[in-house]
Amino acid sequence: MPEYIDFISRIKLKLGIDLNLYKETQMRRRITTLRNKRGYPDFSSYFTALTTEETLLQEFLDRLTINVTEFYRNPKRWDILQKRILPLLTKQNKQMTIWSAACSTGEEPYSLAIMMKENFPNIACRIIATDLDENVLKKAKQGTYQAQALRELPPTIKKKYFAEQQGMYKIKDTLKEMIRFKQHNLLADAYPSDVDLIVCRNVLIYFTDDAKAIIYHRMGKALRQSGVLFVGSTEQIFSPTNYNLDLIETFFYQKV
Ligand SMILES: C[S@@+](CC[C@H](N)C(=O)[O-])C[C@H]1O[C@@H](n2cnc3c(N)ncnc32)[C@H](O)[C@@H]1O
């Protein structure tokens, strides 16, 4: 499909996003559906429209990056994080750096902040929260959620960490202060270093195997010795030892 190939190289030049590194069939289907919905018969006319109409470009970016998320997504995994992984990481260390990579609208880094405050109050914890998509980061920084988004949170936690305003729930500053939100492309930008825990969930599924291998390699490097990478529930790493990682619990890998 040469027209599509031309389209993605023009997108790379314009936006710096390399769609070659995302699974092709899935990505092409998503973009084609959107293009057809907006009435463009081919990729060339769609690209021209994207370069002239800001709202169209915004919609395109939103569609590329599926932003679905929730507080404590897959709660059983978070239970393991709290009961097994964090005690391990905080045993000798009184300071922690956590990286929530591809954090979407912020539910994941805020869940981490709540977990640390509630269970490890003596640990000085800073959380770096990054995503490719500026729009979701804006929402994350704002930290205002609908009641529905908080349905899994116990009432005591809601009361303690959120201020209710006209049916919306706003995260309190004590949590916000722990988090630094930043735009970051996992496929192109420099990674942080000496990270104790990387939480990177439900984004790697969109990438090709080659792109995944590069990301795992770089995450392995970003972790400090014995640091842990927490991945999503469909994202087991094939041959983790290739990246100096060791499986210690399902979906948790420790740097060796
Ligand atoms: C499904 S959400 C995952 C949110 C959260 N980690 C979770 O598990 O609930 C996927 C996120 O990955 C982000 N994303 C997609 N491509 C990315 C890239 N190349 N670099 C960084 N983030 C990316 C999207 O913007 C989106 O917010």
Whether 56 and 89 map to the same domain: the answer is no
Q: Is 136 in the pocket of ligand 1 (CB under 6 A)?
A: yes
Residue 68 in any domain: the answer is no
Whether 207 and 169 map to the same domain: the answer is yes
For residue 72, how far is the Cα from the chain centroid? 13
Q: Is 125 in the pocket of ligand 1 (CB under 6 A)?
A: no
Query: To test the ligand 1 pocket, which listed residue (17, 131, 184, 208) has its Cβ within 8 A of the most ligand atoms?
Result: 131
Q: Average pLDDT across each block of 10 residues of the chain; the chain has 256 residues. List them in order.
A: 92 89 91 95 96 89 82 93 97 95 97 97 97 94 92 92 93 97 96 98 93 97 98 92 97 97
Q: Whose CA is nearest to atom 15 of ligand 1?
A: 65
Could you tell me the residue range of the domain that residue 94 belongs to?
75-255
Residue 23 in any domain: the answer is yes
Backbone angles phi, psi at 176, to 5 degrees: -55, -40
Whether 151 and 181 map to the same domain: the answer is yes
Backbone angles phi, psi at 46, to 5 degrees: -65, -40
Whether 98 and 144 map to the same domain: the answer is yes
Q: Is 132 in the pocket of ligand 1 (CB under 6 A)?
A: yes
Whether 53 and 98 map to the same domain: the answer is no
Residue 69 in any domain: the answer is no
Whole-number pLDDT of residue 123 = 97
> Where residue 157 sits, what CATH number does that domain have?
3.40.50.150
Whole-number pLDDT of residue 221 = 98
Whether 137 and 200 map to the same domain: the answer is yes
Whether 49 and 158 map to the same domain: the answer is no
How far is 237 from 245, CA to CA, in rounded Å?
A: 9
Is 8 buried (19+), middle (13-18) or exposed (0-12) by CB count in 10 A? buried
Non-local (6+) Cβ contacts of 115 within 8 A are 78, 81, 82, 86
Residue 152 in any domain: the answer is yes
Whole-number pLDDT of residue 15 = 84
Domain endpoint, select from 16, 33, 62: 62
Whether 102 and 204 map to the same domain: the answer is yes
Whether 125 and 17 map to the same domain: the answer is no
Whole-number pLDDT of residue 174 = 95
Domain count of the chain?
2
Whether 44 and 96 map to the same domain: the answer is no
For residue 172, how far is the Cα from the chain centroid? 21
**Centre of ligand 1 from the C-alpha of residue 139, in Å:** 14
How far is 14 from 106, CA to CA, in rounded Å?
A: 27
DSSP string, 10-21: HHHHHH---GGG
The CA-atom distances, in angstroms, between 179 and each of 18, 32, 126, 134, 166 are: 28, 37, 6, 16, 25
Q: Is 32 in the pocket of ligand 1 (CB under 6 A)?
A: no
DSSP string, the chain: -HHHHHHHHHHHHHH---GGGB-HHHHHHHHHHHHHHTT-SSHHHHHHHHHH-HHHHHHHHHHHS-----TTSSHHHHHHIIIIIHHHHHSS-SEEEEEEES-TTTHHHHHHHHHHHHH-TTSEEEEEEEES-HHHHHHHHHTEEEGGGGTTS-HHHHHHHEEEETTEEEE-HHHHTTEEEEE--TTTSPPPSSEEEEEE-SSGGGB-HHHHHHHHHHHHHHEEEEEEEEE-TT-PPSSGGGGTEEEEETTEEEE-
Q: Is 203 in the pocket of ligand 1 (CB under 6 A)?
A: yes
Whether 147 and 45 map to the same domain: the answer is no
Q: Is 90 in the pocket of ligand 1 (CB under 6 A)?
A: no
**Centre of ligand 1 from the C-alpha of residue 92, in Å:** 31
Strand partners, 101: 130
Query: To test the ligand 1 pocket, which listed residue (67, 70, 104) has its Cβ within 8 A of the most ligand atoms?
Result: 104
